[in-house]
Structure 1
Amino acid sequence: MCWVLSGCQTAPDRDAQALDFRVGTHWSATPAEHNSVATSWLKTFNDPQLTILVQDGLSENFDLRSAAARVAAAREQAVIAGSGRLPQLYFLPGYQRSKNDGGSGAMESGAFTALFNFNWELDVWGRIKAGQQAATEEAMATADDYRAAQLSLAARIAQVYYEWLEAQLQAQVADQSVRDRSVIAGLIRGRFNKGLTRGLDLRLVLTDLANAEAQLAQARNDVQRLGRQLQTLLARYPDNGLVMDRPLPKPPEALTAGLPAELLTRRPDVLAAFKRLRAADSRLESAEKALLPRITLTAAGGSGSAALTELIDPRAVAWNVAAGLTQPLFTGGRLQGEIRLNQARVQDALNQYQSVALNAFREVEQALAAESLLRDQEKALREAVDQTEASRKLAVYSYQQGLIQILTLLDSYRSTLNAQSAHLRVQRQLLNNRITLYLALGGAV
């Protein structure tokens, strides 16, 4: 009786909010708010070109198509898992030819057969149903994986797009720096030819120019690399055929992060992890119910005749029906091992779910905190660009008047380039962080 009762257990009713760590009532990086997260985050950037690229990627990307195929496969696997709950009927037509070389002479005979087999396991305890439920939950989790892949692809396209735009702007800044330093190099060479400056100054200027040209080459290499990476995401041949020249936009101002608890019911990867936990519960239930008796109905019938036309004669039909019960008594520990195996998998899935949920909270908190810090950094670097530009102009004038050394002049050019480059970089980081935040919140594209 204890053995039978142990197999009658059902999967527990899981609560997605039941976590082993405390979830706050609001995000620590923002004040408490109760507004829902805005949908269609792509529209908030107000960039038609980006919208077109993301739409192309979502329809053409090969990895996303592969994920869609996995969803279809998982759904069919659920159909296969549930097929055992229905009767199985087979038709077996055939023909047999035989020859007997006996003492009285060779005899040949042939016969046509038309047989039917019927088999049905009555799922009294719900063992097959539990296996079907596990496959269904797994299919739903795979569908959530597909949604997560869509969001991830859209975010990746947007981030690479802005990295590509930044690289083009970095190349423009580096190109302007090379032109400015070429002017200085020409000025110093002219002064050197007139004996007004030392050879060391000329060599320092030429070295600085060569370094600027190397930075320009690196910037152009980043442009072609990111352009090809973007084309690959769009399932296009990476021929660097994308051409676009525009400034980096400002990040959208308004942002609603919602409540932390909402993340558990909105993020696709968290939903997928929870459904895989429920699938593990159902597999454990199915393994436990394998200890219970199995009741089956079987039937076989058909007819056989040497003449094909006589197969439909009712008098030639023979059939049999049987009902049976199979109770496992000794399986060498296989059934108990499967139960313990699935118990371990349940614990694995439970911890995986909690890990995914915790990481989701971290990503949101991290992106929210970075938002304000990056804005402060962008403001400071904008001021640095203005100051270095003014100091560079003053350094040129001071050098022409003989008030400063060549190293000070060259340093002013490097400071201007570095400030401009850092400012562009943080502008792009602001955009990427906003995209990361939308992705972390699980907002729809």
Structure 2
Amino acid sequence: MKALFAYRLPTLLALSLTLSACAIGPDYQRPQLQAPTQFKQIEGWTQAKPGDALERGNWWQLYGDTELNTLAERLNISNQNLAASEAQYRQARALVRGARAAFYPSLSSSAGATRSSQGSGSSSTTTSTGGISNSYDLSLNAAWELDIWGKLRRSLESSRAGVEASAADLAALKLSLQAELVQNYLQLRVLDDQQRLLDATVAAYARSLKLTQNQYNAGIVPKSDVSQALTQLKSTQAQAIDLKWQRAQLEHAIAVLIGVPPSELSIAVREKLPVLPEIPVALPSQLLERRPDVAAAERRVIAANANIGVAEAAWYPDLTISASGGYRGSSFADWFDLPNRFWSLGPQLALTLFDGGARSAELERTEAAYDQTVAQYRQSVLDSFREVEDYLVQLRVLQQEAVVQQEALDAARESLRLIENQYRAGTVDFNSVVNVQATALNNERSNLSLLGSRLTASVQLIAALGGGWQQQQWLEESPNAVNQPAPGTVDTAAP
């Protein structure tokens, strides 16, 4: 009998490996999408050259600011939310290695000593005598579940898709934090320019107040002109002071983003503003490969698809080959004697005959979960298209607005120059000067605010385009054990 089993075992293994070339459940196919051939708002948008300006990953370098580059690198290293997401990614990667371990046989051993006795006594029918006996056991056990129906491979496929989704989530968070940092920094620099404008305006208004006081002392103008000049000066000084807390909050936000307490970061005021870059716009089809959130959504579809195969495999029997052997004796002296040796070897088929509909319910749940992830994936794609269209039209309109605003600013400056000359000549009252000065200042601040809006919109467009993220960026950093198929199996991981 033992010889017959030894003869049949290679045949059984060959059959199981042949069957394992197929896996129960549907193979993954990317859900159908209605992707446009081009963006609606791309008309009139000038694409920058070269077209691979965002491929390097350090997309913030497009703004030409060395301090911004340094802060972004510090964020990549020290941001705590990023560190937490990276740890979550490593957890998902460990789950893949755990899923791969199911393909290998499990081996365990045990050793024990037992001392027992049976009591003595008598009754009307029986008489027994007691004694103490010792028993010593040493055994080695092995078990190997053959993946005939592909349940383990589908589980591994799901885990692989999960770690890829986690990698994409990490990249999406990194891109979001980078965009937040760049926006805060650019707004801080715009506030610095507004501060310089208000400080220069305060100095000009102080000179105007001095001139008005001199004219009042000479009896040329009424005292009301002095009051108006003083009111205008103090109001502008208050506006200049108000900018300080706004700048401080932006500086504090940047400090937290790079992982340091706000008290440890000071960003010096600088006169030069970052440049507004020309942004190369990817085609809609390229957008699906560039955006990490879209990639993460698709990886979850892959995982949900593989889980359907796991649920379907539950309807088929599991084949396990188990073996055990060891020694058992009543004393150490004869423990390893041949009569005390024992062993067993054999296959086992396990099939659930009735479970009250649990397997049907699980299969229905996995199919519904797949439909959910497909809908979420399609919604992510639609949202990505909308965001790009939004920021494209916003940048185009802001660019047109900037041209008109600059014309208004030039006219306000010329009007201010003329009215100040007329006031010095005594042909207009000071109230006319105040009105023109207020108009000129408002136009100056509007021009800077518009520049800030354009800089912010450019960051948002870059983030909507996926920044410099590449689909394989994080996967290439994963250990080879995560991406290689298990021994003796067919790799059914989705492309």
TM range (shorter): 0.7 to 0.9
C-alpha separation between the residues in 2 aligned to 1:229 and 1:357?
A: 30
Work out whether 1:50 is the aligned partner of 2:62: no
Q: CA separation of 1:106/1:170 partners in 2, compared to 1, >3 Å: closer, same or farther?
A: farther
Deviation at 1:73, TM superposition (A): 0.7
Task: Report if aligned partners of 2:316, 2:351 keep a CA contact under 8 Å in 1.
Answer: yes
1:387-441 per-position Cα deviation (integer Å, ceiling 9, x unaligned): 2223223333334444444443222222222222221222233223222222222
Task: Report if aligned partners of 1:87, 1:118 keep a CA contact under 8 Å in 2.
Answer: yes
Percent sequence identity over matched residues? 26
Deviation at 1:343, TM superposition (A): 1.4
Work out whether 1:10 is the aligned partner of 2:29: no
C-alpha separation between the residues in 2 aligned to 1:408 and 1:315?
A: 118
Q: Which residue of 2 aligns with 1:374?
A: 398
Helix, strand or coil: the match of 1:321? strand
Helix, strand or coil: the match of 1:85? coil
Higher mean C-alpha displacement, 400-409 vs 122-131: 400-409
Q: Which residue of 2 aligns with 1:119?
A: 143
Deviation at 1:332, TM superposition (A): 2.3
Work out whether 1:353 is the aligned partner of 2:377: yes
Q: Which residue of 1 aligns with 2:296?
A: 272
Give the counterpart letter for 1:114 in structure 2: L
Higher mean C-alpha displacement, 358-367 vs 383-392: 383-392
Task: Report if aligned partners of 2:105, 2:144 keep a CA contact under 8 Å in 1.
Answer: yes
Task: Report if aligned partners of 2:199, 2:240 keep a CA contact under 8 Å in 1.
Answer: yes
Deviation at 1:359, TM superposition (A): 1.2
Q: CA separation of 1:183/1:89 partners in 2, compared to 1, >3 Å: closer, same or farther?
A: same
Deviation at 1:287, TM superposition (A): 1.0
Work out whether 1:181 is the aligned partner of 2:196: no
C-alpha separation between the residues in 2 aligned to 1:303 and 1:412?
A: 104
Task: Report if aligned partners of 2:23, 2:151 keep a CA contact under 8 Å in 1.
Answer: no
Give the counterpart letter for 1:77 in structure 2: L
C-alpha separation between the residues in 1 aligned to 2:116 and 2:439?
A: 98
Report the RMSD for the aligned CA atoms in angstroms.
Answer: 3.1
Work out whether 1:248 is the aligned partner of 2:273: yes
Deviation at 1:110, TM superposition (A): 5.2
Q: CA separation of 1:107/1:171 partners in 2, compared to 1, >3 Å: closer, same or farther?
A: farther
Deviation at 1:293, TM superposition (A): 1.8
Deviation at 1:72, TM superposition (A): 1.1
C-alpha separation between the residues in 2 aligned to 1:232 and 1:313?
A: 71
1:322-374 per-position Cα deviation (integer Å, ceiling 9, x unaligned): 43222223212221111111111111100111111111112222222223222
Helix, strand or coil: the match of 2:342? strand
Work out whether 1:91 is the aligned partner of 2:102: no
Helix, strand or coil: the match of 1:347? helix
Q: Which residue of 2 aligns with 1:77?
A: 95
C-alpha separation between the residues in 2 aligned to 1:141 and 1:383?
A: 49
In structure 1, the gaps of 5 or more residues are: 1-6
C-alpha separation between the residues in 2 aligned to 1:279 and 1:350?
A: 11
Within 5 A, what are the aligned runs for 1:103-182? 111-182=135-206
Q: CA separation of 1:388/1:300 partners in 2, compared to 1, >3 Å: closer, same or farther?
A: same
Give TM-score, length-normalised by structure 2: 0.79
Q: CA separation of 1:199/1:25 partners in 2, compared to 1, >3 Å: closer, same or farther?
A: closer
Q: CA separation of 1:110/1:43 partners in 2, compared to 1, >3 Å: closer, same or farther?
A: same
In structure 2, the gaps of 5 or more residues are: 1-21, 122-127, 470-495
Q: Which residue of 2 aligns with 1:3?
A: none
Q: How many residues align?
A: 436
Task: Report if aligned partners of 2:255, 2:261 keep a CA contact under 8 Å in 1.
Answer: yes
C-alpha separation between the residues in 1 aligned to 2:450 and 2:266?
A: 27
Task: Report if aligned partners of 1:37, 1:257 keep a CA contact under 8 Å in 2.
Answer: no
Higher mean C-alpha displacement, 383-392 vs 52-61: 383-392
Work out whether 1:59 is the aligned partner of 2:59: no
Task: Report if aligned partners of 1:174, 1:219 keep a CA contact under 8 Å in 2.
Answer: no
Q: CA separation of 1:304/1:398 partners in 2, compared to 1, >3 Å: closer, same or farther?
A: farther
Deviation at 1:189, TM superposition (A): 5.0
1:279-299 per-position Cα deviation (integer Å, ceiling 9, x unaligned): 101111211221222222233
Helix, strand or coil: the match of 2:349? strand
C-alpha separation between the residues in 2 aligned to 1:314 and 1:208?
A: 109
Q: Which residue of 2 aligns with 1:24?
A: 37
Give the counterpart letter for 1:356 in structure 2: S
